[in-house]
Structure 1
């Protein structure tokens, strides 16, 4: 069903067309078709998180193989995050300019080939270069995936589905640990990179079926293409549900068109997605998002990049520490599921703050556990809240910005997080050497608490709102 003609004038006509596309998307019921598209995006997310997590489980073996000092090990861990920082910025801005689908494909090729190359690394510099490229590909995929899911899934379940997608990271961590646990004793760390690189090839072939975002096409003025993609999606939903589509809500289209209408006061911000992030309308949101990601990732990666090494110092073997980390990471699976439910039940702000604060408490308890039983219990709870926290970050961030700058905003916020991720693994070994292993978990707890404070004081609530309304 089509709406009435948009208002006259080129800019207002574009706003009206954008509003029509958004309204048609929002009236679509969730069906097997949207879930299939979501599964394609989430499957890629799963495999690339397996690759990111590998170093957590392989670092002990790599330290032995190359005879690395603690400083060199920290630098190797930091290279992945440095690559993610670059990928976040490049792919986020490229996606807003060139489209979601093409950039999404390129990111998979980059990190898949880099993973295969890492298996043949003959020196530390070569391995560091490979991990940097893996980071570029994986980091580039993140803002594009967030934008795609948020732009295709209706507002009433948008947060839940992005949180579920991010929850595949917890599954990826567990699978990464399982791959490492079974491959390390028999084939060594190089073959773990081979396995993940081959998985990337399979997912790349599946991913080719993903459509372009009609919201992005409409925003770019490519209305014929947006109409074609939108009509195809509507036909697929009708086929999947076996029922006619509900009518388009004119109020939604009008509200979106009003939000999307250009402002004479901010022409540069509309033309430049980076300028949009720092324009008066979005400046506070950008400060909150950048700070939230920075401190949350200092906490997370400051802990997780060194957790297997710290366990080794407590008497675990390399394989034993990998098995222990894999088991406690299982706690992240119910964690992201709970976060997905709460994001739609009580809202983005309270859920994000709750998981950050609880992650801080669990990290402190883990760092001060007296025996292996409490080490396991507190570690399981810690992973429950830390992986739930990730679901909150990824669900919340893309909702803060308009379509023209959504991937750019998500990419830049994530890039600030990668700065924290780089600093965390480099700061922690120094503190551990001077003050003991528990210091790593105190740093993590502090980072989570600061991020929670930023969300509570500067954040806006986005639950259940159409993207164009909440991002206006």
Structure 2
């Protein structure tokens, strides 16, 4: 039995949950940093007298970095290993977050936010790829959605930091706390193994065999296998054009449109949410309270998506959650009472973040091992361009006198469009081997 087959036949065990927590905590720290800028913006705008357009630029600067980081880190992960790149990108964005607390003017903050985004954009697709390559096929969707659920925990942490520290200690305190995840790099070095599929793709058979043997022993599985010397192989250079050639052309088109649309809607809504609430007449503290309540709805959204994704499939779950999120965004835009804002905002968080969990499940499944991180990184990078545009566009719309309802009608149309794209162009990958799907 070959090593990949042995890996896929290892039942769900303590190892898989330990890997989920190890990668998930890195994911949580990413989300905490992303959430912090949303909560910092209202206080920063007041302290520095920023215009809506300048606030949009701050949100977009990090997303420019995420686009660059996603591409370069995806390439690096396929060449140098998932584990190394995971640790390096986490360290980069943690240090850069601390530097944001030392920013002395608008321009310096833009530079530091770019560096934060570079690290964030590199870490996310690499972590998802690593978890994907270790998850058994029947439970792969559940594990990736659960990995994405740590994003909700990170946003909750950001909301709590904002609520407890910003009103009393200033916006700088939030960034200094956001630098603490740098210490987690030492945990990654000890707790996270290199991808078995990556090792095999590089001809490192003995290392892959050792890892799989240890997993089998821990799970009580026996398999007969005698490792042979790795074959001398020619390293095939990853070409960008390959993403747009059969059999990947349709998959790439679908993923790029999906990523662009969901990132555009997510960052356009959630980066601005505390500021939009403040613009509606709520105090900063009251706005933080409302957003904290809405953020709590993210976790059950992830868990419901984790339940459905391996039962009704990736396409159906993703399209359902995107369409429901669109409906909630429309309701939120036209809500005219605090209770209605909370209800529609919570539903928007529930379905939008549940959809995100499926996106991170679905994306790595559509490419083979040798280009999995590269293809996933490019999809994420294209998405970041949507995120770059969204905060700036919302800023210009608000600066030009656009209504609250008009902003959310735009996001409603965006999410309905990408739901239709998934239904038309998407392929179902539920419970299939990664090799069966990708080639």
TM-score (norm 2): 0.95
Kindly indicate whether residue 163 of structure 2 is the aligned counterpart of residue 181 of structure 1: yes
- Shift in Å at residue 248 of structure 1? 8.1
Indicate which of 138, 147, 150 corresponds to 2:132: 150
> Secondary structure of the equivalent of 2:247?
coil
Gaps of 5+ in 2: 226-232
Residues in 2 aligned to 1:393 and 1:86: alpha-carbon distance in whole angstroms: 20
Give the corresponding residue for 1:471. Answer: 438
CA contact (8 A) 1:276 1:405 kept: no
Give the corresponding residue for 2:343. Answer: 377
CA contact (8 A) 1:157 1:344 kept: yes
Moved more, 274-283 or 35-44: 274-283
Give the corresponding residue for 2:186. Answer: 205
- Shift in Å at residue 103 of structure 1? 0.7
Change (3 A) 1:273 1:213: farther
Kindly indicate whether residue 116 of structure 2 is the aligned counterpart of residue 134 of structure 1: yes
CA deviation string 1:267-288 (max 9, x = no partner)? 99x5315343122110000000
Indicate which of 322, 327, 335 corresponds to 1:356: 322
Counting only pairs closer than 5 Å after superposition, residues 312-461 of structure 1 correspond to structure 2 as 312-432=278-398, 433-461=400-428
Kindly indicate whether residue 80 of structure 2 is the aligned counterpart of residue 113 of structure 1: no
CA contact (8 A) 1:27 1:154 kept: yes
Residues in 2 aligned to 1:100 and 1:234: alpha-carbon distance in whole angstroms: 22
CA deviation string 1:115-152 (max 9, x = no partner)? 11111111111111111111111110011111100000
> Secondary structure of the equivalent of 1:366?
helix
- Runs of 4+ in structure 1 off by over 4 angstroms are 246-249
Give the corresponding residue for 2:19. Answer: 37
CA deviation string 1:394-451 (max 9, x = no partner)? 1110100000111111111111111001111111122233331112211111111111
CA deviation string 1:147-172 (max 9, x = no partner)? 10000010110111100111111111
Indicate which of 83, 90, 99 corresponds to 2:72: 90
Moved more, 380-389 or 201-210: 201-210
- Shift in Å at residue 309 of structure 1? 1.3
Give the corresponding residue for 1:283. Answer: 249
Indicate which of 171, 187, 190 corresponds to 2:172: 190
Residues in 1 aligned to 2:408 and 2:267: alpha-carbon distance in whole angstroms: 11
CA contact (8 A) 2:32 2:155 kept: yes
Residues in 1 aligned to 2:187 and 2:290: alpha-carbon distance in whole angstroms: 33
Kindly indicate whether residue 41 of structure 2 is the aligned counterpart of residue 59 of structure 1: yes
CA contact (8 A) 1:112 1:134 kept: yes
> Secondary structure of the equivalent of 1:184?
helix
- Shift in Å at residue 313 of structure 1? 1.5
Give the corresponding residue for 1:68. Answer: 50
- Shift in Å at residue 246 of structure 1? 5.7
- Shift in Å at residue 233 of structure 1? 2.9
Residues in 2 aligned to 1:143 and 1:156: alpha-carbon distance in whole angstroms: 21
Q: Aligned-residue CA RMSD in angstroms? A: 1.7
CA contact (8 A) 1:87 1:139 kept: yes
- Shift in Å at residue 363 of structure 1? 0.2
- Shift in Å at residue 247 of structure 1? 5.2
Give the corresponding residue for 2:221. Answer: 245
- Shift in Å at residue 25 of structure 1? 0.7
> Secondary structure of the equivalent of 1:64?
helix
Change (3 A) 1:231 1:56: same
Residues in 1 aligned to 2:222 and 2:423: alpha-carbon distance in whole angstroms: 37
Give the corresponding residue for 2:228. Answer: none
Give the corresponding residue for 2:230. Answer: none
Residues in 2 aligned to 1:157 and 1:471: alpha-carbon distance in whole angstroms: 18
TM-score (norm 1): 0.88
Residues in 2 aligned to 1:397 and 1:248: alpha-carbon distance in whole angstroms: 33
- Shift in Å at residue 229 of structure 1? 2.5
Residues in 2 aligned to 1:275 and 1:228: alpha-carbon distance in whole angstroms: 35
Gaps of 5+ in 1: 4-19, 239-243, 250-261
CA contact (8 A) 1:428 1:439 kept: no
